Amino acid sequence: MLHVEAELIYEFPGSAEVLLLLEAARSSDQAIQNERLTITPSVEIARLDDSVSGERRAVFSAEGEVVIAYAANVEVLPRDDTLARVEQAPVRDLPGEALRYLRASRYCPSDRFESFCRREFGDLRGGDRVEAILDWIHGHLTYEAGVSDAATTALDTFVDRAGVCRDFAHLAITFCRASDIPARAVSAHAWKLDPPDMHAVAEVYLGGRWRLIDATRKCATNGLVRVAMGLDAADIAFMTVFGRATLVSQTFSVEAVQRGFADHNPPGC
Amino acid sequence: MLHVEAELIYEFPGSAEVLLLLEAARSSDQAIQNERLTITPSVEIARLDDSVSGERRAVFSAEGEVVIAYAANVEVLPRDDTLARVEQAPVRDLPGEALRYLRASRYCPSDRFESFCRREFGDLRGGDRVEAILDWIHGHLTYEAGVSDAATTALDTFVDRAGVCRDFAHLAITFCRASDIPARAVSAHAWKLDPPDMHAVAEVYLGGRWRLIDATRKCATNGLVRVAMGLDAADIAFMTVFGRATLVSQTFSVEAVQRGFADHNPPGC
Amino acid sequence: MLHVEAELIYEFPGSAEVLLLLEAARSSDQAIQNERLTITPSVEIARLDDSVSGERRAVFSAEGEVVIAYAANVEVLPRDDTLARVEQAPVRDLPGEALRYLRASRYCPSDRFESFCRREFGDLRGGDRVEAILDWIHGHLTYEAGVSDAATTALDTFVDRAGVCRDFAHLAITFCRASDIPARAVSAHAWKLDPPDMHAVAEVYLGGRWRLIDATRKCATNGLVRVAMGLDAADIAFMTVFGRATLVSQTFSVEAVQRGFADHNPPGC
Amino acid sequence: MLHVEAELIYEFPGSAEVLLLLEAARSSDQAIQNERLTITPSVEIARLDDSVSGERRAVFSAEGEVVIAYAANVEVLPRDDTLARVEQAPVRDLPGEALRYLRASRYCPSDRFESFCRREFGDLRGGDRVEAILDWIHGHLTYEAGVSDAATTALDTFVDRAGVCRDFAHLAITFCRASDIPARAVSAHAWKLDPPDMHAVAEVYLGGRWRLIDATRKCATNGLVRVAMGLDAADIAFMTVFGRATLVSQTFSVEAVQRGFADHNPPGC
């Protein structure tokens, strides 16, 4: 059982709407308990949750200094993220909702990498190809802050050969889509991520379901609490402000807790 | 009543899968009759239709020379695409599926145009802002083939000041999203489009529903038979080939037909 | 008479070569007195000065903490930077060295702006066109730090509608070249620039000679001590390090001094 | 001895100026005989030749259909384009004119490739590094027409992994500059190039002089008649039109001729 906490403090100079993708997704691979989202000062929260993916979306109005606090206990159910020898389905066998994850997006211009992937990964298909892609990224990219920023695309990262989790995820997604494998970006609360932060990973659709991959190789996938899913970073930002805001502080933490203990001692008490 | 026909002939040197977004969408604003999709030589067609948007998706395997023929009679129900004075909803009142159409995409990097839109369109909101956007595009872009290609983004078009329907749609979508108005790309069979071709237009979400806009001002929106919807051209291509193909020929036609006549004389007979 | 001072302190973790474009150019429009360049600890300075443009280039090896100090008294001779009604020469009448300043460069992709300039500046030619370009930039760009960085091109600035002196100069140069007017980037010590810093301006070749323009409209051209000239920021950086370095501090100052006083009291004493 | 011929026929709808970089450079490594440049209808030709590089520049006015014919016999003197073990000079020992060839340009954004080159070519320096760069290009790029166009940069080619001579030259130049080796683009009439065309190659400054390299490995460097030199394709286009023009036809040929024969039988007679 993982105990997740996040506290975001922002200053909104004028009235703004905030879209928050911070809560654990209500998907079949994770069980959520004792969850609490509090906005201070108190505001009305509209919910735009997505019933298909389980993505949780909170929308509210903010002005002045606002404290957003989230806590939950999440049991990540056993996941099988095996890739080796998993087959790549023909397009006709994909679920309709997976089709869009074959396409190029703002930060994942997969249309530009078809030749490269054909050259580099040759005849490998399915899970073996994804493993080769992850090996390539591990061998050719340096994890380094300060090289990339919010405008950095996978094409930039391919040239720069360095970046952070967002950039690693984008490049993996880009190579997968250029290989006709549906791939999407996932944000997650991540156990043992150092320094603690929201993590950006990816999912590929193989063998009839989505499988998590962490191109940075920093976190075990069963230590990941899935939050938002989308084409790339444009879709999974934990906070989107329609208006202006400045960061005051933000902290994230994920801790392993004993199950019985956590059940009777809700987080934050 | 519009009679729509399309014939696509392609040569597939090896086996390939084809995703076809060519059929009229089964949405509430258009009634479809006597519809026929034929692939020659005959193949099994898998359907990945989307029940929410009504988008029709046919997937099949192709090899050698393949003829794809589509015909249908479509009654476009009266549409009200009024923009003037229509209000822009706050984010909390948007349907969940509209959120993604606020975000930057492969060909619509709306994140780059927030300053420009604030400067240029100032305090205008909602339908009035969309009208100002369409006026700006009409005043600053030249419709001209050969300037753009499949890699052209709205940012390129903003610089080039010229393009075709796809480019006009991308720029309109980009400016709308940069103005916090959900906007999506739509492909359509278009009456009186000269020369006849698939048309790329857009839809904005305003006043509680999607409204069609044609940034080229070439077609009346009630002469448009909606086909596919998505973030941009990456999502609405009428044919995506997973493998290789070369074009042999393709023709499109849309004609107004008398209702009684068409009912008894199915297209193509 | 202007008294120019600059002090650059950098830390070089290993041995590096440094190319310094910091000294006042020995061009016919400025007279230099009591000039002194000192590197501490003392090193041998190789000179790669350009006799045609008068650009001064000092190259030396650096390691550890290095202090680069420059001081000079410069009399800027009366310049006539009139633009109005100055004619644009045909290409055949340009000096050979001006040809390269008609071409696109790293940060000035003028090839992309021919349509825009034709549309926007129409039939204006020569100095009148340059004035219209400067008016357009003044009307459409905001001077704002933090929007741009070292990778920002004129195309980015055209989209962002904001930037600093380097970005203003790049956009002016780009529009001039797209209008077949030779234009180059110039770095300068600038009187009354606030905050004090090296300034980036431009020169256009019109009426048989180069004329200074400051697209930011922050400095009078006769308060500019010209230093380096080139295609764009890639050519005129005041310090290029071949190896690694980190900034410790840097200060610039330009002050007006009484002529007699300065003659007898060399700067720094 | 090589006999070079070129015939360019263009249609100029209005009056235009033309800058022609088509004639063999008057450099010390090639001797030119029986040279003839004719423009039909006859026009006055202004010469903007560069005395330092020997680049020949003809400027003239054109209107209507114009035939540009060039022929010359050129003896390419023995060149030593050895790279192996040739040392890389420190910056202080470079000639002043080589400095600009260390910098990023329109189609060679070398600033983006410093990390990649450090990773890929490690501690190799000088001629050995250039050889490793040429090997990398040979191993990772496919020579293929239709992938690139006039807007393609070395960064695009690095992603696309395919292109033509211009693209190969740009990538080689980019990697060399990112390695602190001066590199410039060179256009050439090329013996045995198939199909016959102007060729784009490069030169690197090593061991005290410029050395020719052909990144496509299609031509021996002693079969190359050097024409124009510059930062990249922006500088070496054989024809730049200031105005409008459409191509009617153009042909290039280079043939080996017996020396005595050619001396007495001027080309074209």
Residues C202-224: pLDDT tens digits? 999 999 999 999 999 999 999 99
CA distances, A116 to each of A129, A213, A254, D113, D141 (Å): 13, 21, 38, 18, 10
How much is the average pLDDT of B208-214?
A: 96
Question: Does the beta-carbon distance from D103 to C151 stay under 8 Å?
Answer: no
Strands (E), A21-82: 30-40, 46-47, 58-76
- Are A1 and A257 in contact, with CB atoms under 8 Å apart? yes
Return the H-helix or E-strand segment holding D130. Answer: helix D126-140
Confidence of residue B263 (pLDDT cuts 50, 70, 90): very low
pLDDT at C196 over 50: yes
From A90's Cα to the closest Cα of chain B, the distance in A is: 8
Q: In terms of CA atoms, which chain A residue is nearest residue D118?
A: A161
Q: Is the dihedral of CA A170, A173, A177, A183 positive or negative?
A: negative
Residues β-bridged to residue A76: A30
Tell me the per-residue pLDDT of A19-72, one tens digit each, with 9 for 90 and over. Answer: 999 999 999 999 999 999 999 999 999 999 999 899 999 999 999 999 999 999
Cβ-based contacts of A58 with chain B (< 8 Å): none
Positions of CATH 2.60.40.2250 in chain C: 2-77+238-264
The Cα–Cα gap between D204 and C66 comes to: 31
Q: What is the DSSP letter of D112?
A: G
pLDDT at C257 over 80: yes
- Among C268, C263, C184, which Cα is nearest to C229's? C184
For chain A, the straight-line distance linking the first and the last C-alpha, in angstroms and rounded, comes to: 17
How much is the average pLDDT of B151-161?
A: 98
Q: What is the pLDDT, as a whole number, of residue D10?
A: 98
- Are C38 and C266 in contact, with CB atoms under 8 Å apart? no
What is the residue whose two structure tokens read 């991308």? B170
Q: What is the pLDDT, as a whole number, of residue D260?
A: 54
pLDDT at B164 over 50: yes
Q: What is the pLDDT, as a whole number, of residue C25?
A: 98
Cβ-based contacts of D49 with chain C (< 8 Å): 96
Question: Does the beta-carbon distance from A91 to B19 stay under 8 Å?
Answer: yes
B91 touching chain A per CB within 8 A: yes
Question: Does the beta-carbon distance from A92 to B17 stay under 8 Å?
Answer: yes
Structure tokens that stand for C224 in this block: 């500019």
Nearest-10 crossing angle of helices C114-121, C126-140: 100
The Cα–Cα gap between C48 and C56 comes to: 7
A162 touching chain D per CB within 8 A: yes
Provide DSSP, D1-61: -EEEEEEEEEEEEEEEEEEE--SPP--TTEEEEEEEEEEES----EE---TTT----EEEE
- Among C22, C23, C32, C21, which Cα is nearest to C76's? C32
A183 touching chain B per CB within 8 A: no
CA distances, D195 to each of D69, D159, D202, D219 (Å): 19, 26, 20, 12
C261 touching chain B per CB within 8 A: no
Provide DSSP, B198-263: EEEEEEEEETTEEEEE-TT--S-GGGEEEEEEESSHHHH-SEEEES--EEEEEEEEEEE--HHHHH
Tell me the per-residue pLDDT of C128-156, one tens digit each, with 9 for 90 and over. Answer: 999 999 999 999 999 999 999 999 999 99
Confidence of residue B269 (pLDDT cuts 50, 70, 90): very low
In angstroms, how far is CA D31 from the centroid of its own chain? 18
Longest dimension (CA), chain A: 57
Question: Does the beta-carbon distance from B57 to A242 stay under 8 Å?
Answer: no
Question: Does the beta-carbon distance from B19 to A104 stay under 8 Å?
Answer: no
pLDDT at B243 over 90: yes
Return the H-helix or E-strand segment holding C221. Answer: none
Of A57, A96, A109, the CB nearest to B48: A96
Beta-sheet pairing, A30-40 with A58-76:
antiparallel
Q: What is the pLDDT, as a whole number, of residue D12?
A: 98
CA distances, B127 to each of B86, B104, C2, D145 (Å): 5, 20, 57, 47
- Name every residue whose Cβ is closer than 8 Å to that of residue B16 and which is 6 or more positions away in sequence: B61, B62, B63, B241, B242, B243, B244, B245
Q: What is the DSSP letter of D105?
A: B
Residues of chain A with pLDDT under 50: 261-269
Q: What is the pLDDT, as a whole number, of residue A259?
A: 66
Which subunits count as partners of chain B given 3+ CB pairs below 8 Å? A, C
The Cα–Cα gap between A257 and A18 comes to: 31
pLDDT at D124 over 60: yes
Question: Does the beta-carbon distance from B92 to A48 stay under 8 Å?
Answer: yes
Positions of CATH 3.10.620.30 in chain C: 91-236
Tell me the per-residue pLDDT of D247-268, one tens digit each, with 9 for 90 and over. Answer: 999 999 999 997 654 444 433 3
How much is the average pLDDT of B40-61?
A: 96
What is the residue whose two structure tokens read 């009777």? A264
**Single-letter amino acid, residue A89:** A
Helix, strand or coil for residue D78? Answer: coil
Residues β-bridged to residue C71: C5, C36
CA distances, A148 to each of A158, A159, D269 (Å): 11, 11, 62
Q: Which of B106, B113, B118 to mutate to test the interface with A (most CBs of A within 10 A)?
A: B106
Question: Does the beta-carbon distance from D46 to C92 stay under 8 Å?
Answer: yes
The Cα–Cα gap between D191 and C15 comes to: 45
From D178's Cα to the closest Cα of chain C, the distance in A is: 10
C128 touching chain D per CB within 8 A: no
Q: What is the DSSP letter of A160?
A: H
Tell me the helices (H) and strands (E) count for chain C, helix number first.
Answer: 6, 12
- Among A228, A245, A242, A100, which Cα is nearest to A166's? A228
How much is the average pLDDT of B8-25?
A: 98
Beta-sheet pairing, C46-47 with D2-20:
unpaired
Cβ-based contacts of C49 with chain D (< 8 Å): 96
pLDDT at D79 over 90: no
- Are A206 and A126 in contact, with CB atoms under 8 Å apart? yes
Of B49, B180, B234, the CB nearest to A242: B180
How much is the average pLDDT of B162-181?
A: 98
Of B92, B150, B235, the CB nearest to A59: B92
Q: What is the pLDDT, as a whole number, of residue C138?
A: 98
pLDDT at B204 over 90: yes
- Among C153, C151, C148, C119, which Cα is nearest to C136's? C119
B230 touching chain A per CB within 8 A: yes
- Are C159 and C217 in contact, with CB atoms under 8 Å apart? no
Cβ-based contacts of D153 with chain C (< 8 Å): none
Q: In terms of CA atoms, which chain A residue is nearest residue B110?
A: A106
B119 touching chain C per CB within 8 A: yes
What is the residue whose two structure tokens read 């075990």? A220
Question: Does the beta-carbon distance from A159 to D155 stay under 8 Å?
Answer: yes
**Single-letter amino acid, residue D229:** M
Q: How many CB atoms lie within 10 A of CB D147?
A: 18
B2-77+238-264: in CATH 1.10.3720.10: no
pLDDT at B266 over 60: no
Nearest-10 crossing angle of helices D114-121, D126-140: 100
Provide DSSP, A162-202: EE-HHHHHHHHHHHHHHTT--EEEEEEEETT-SS--EEEEE
Beta-sheet pairing, C162-163 with C142-143:
parallel
Of D113, D140, D159, the CB nearest to A112: D159
C162 touching chain B per CB within 8 A: yes
Nearest-10 crossing angle of helices A165-178, A114-121: 80
Q: What is the pLDDT, as a whole number, of residue C55?
A: 97
- Among B215, B85, D170, D40, which Cα is nearest to C106's? D170
How much is the average pLDDT of D184-211?
A: 96
Q: In terms of CA atoms, which chain D residue is nearest residue C94?
A: D48
Q: What is the pLDDT, as a whole number, of residue D147?
A: 96
The CATH fold assigned to B91-236 is: C8orf32 fold (3.10.620)
Q: What is the pLDDT, as a whole number, of residue A265?
A: 41
Cβ-based contacts of D112 with chain C (< 8 Å): 151
- Name every residue whose Cβ is closer than 8 Å to that of residue A146 and which is 6 or more positions away in sequence: none
Structure tokens that stand for A90 in this block: 């023909």
The Cα–Cα gap between B78 and B111 comes to: 35
- Are D193 and D164 in contact, with CB atoms under 8 Å apart? no
Cβ-based contacts of A152 with chain B (< 8 Å): none
From A242's Cα to the closest Cα of chain B, the distance in A is: 7
Of D49, D99, D104, the CB nearest to C106: D104
Q: What is the pLDDT, as a whole number, of residue D263?
A: 47
Whether pTM exceeds 0.80 = yes
- Three-state secondary structure string covering D201-246: EEEEEECCEEEEECCCCCCCHHHEEEEEEECCHHHHCCEEEECCCE
How much is the average pLDDT of B17-34?
A: 96
CATH architecture observed for domain A91-235: Roll (3.10)
How much is the average pLDDT of D73-98?
A: 94
From C38's Cα to the closest Cα of chain B, the distance in A is: 44
Question: Does the beta-carbon distance from D109 to C106 stay under 8 Å?
Answer: yes
What is the residue whose two structure tokens read 């994909």? A94
In angstroms, how far is CA C14 from the centroid of its own chain? 29
B63 touching chain A per CB within 8 A: no
The Cα–Cα gap between C173 and C165 comes to: 12
Helix, strand or coil for residue D172? Answer: helix
From A150's Cα to the closest Cα of chain B, the distance in A is: 10
**What residues 12-51 of chain A have any CB closer than 8 A to a CB of chain D?**
none
Q: What is the pLDDT, as a whole number, of residue C258?
A: 77
Cβ-based contacts of A111 with chain B (< 8 Å): 106, 150-151, 234
D115 touching chain A per CB within 8 A: yes
- Count CA within 13 A, CB hemisphere, residue C88: 19
The Cα–Cα gap between D140 and A174 comes to: 19
A139 touching chain D per CB within 8 A: no
Of A92, A105, A231, the CB nearest to B59: A92
B261 touching chain A per CB within 8 A: no
In angstroms, how far is CA B178 from the centroid of its own chain? 20
Q: What is the pLDDT, as a whole number, of residue B264?
A: 44
Cβ-based contacts of D46 with chain C (< 8 Å): 92-93
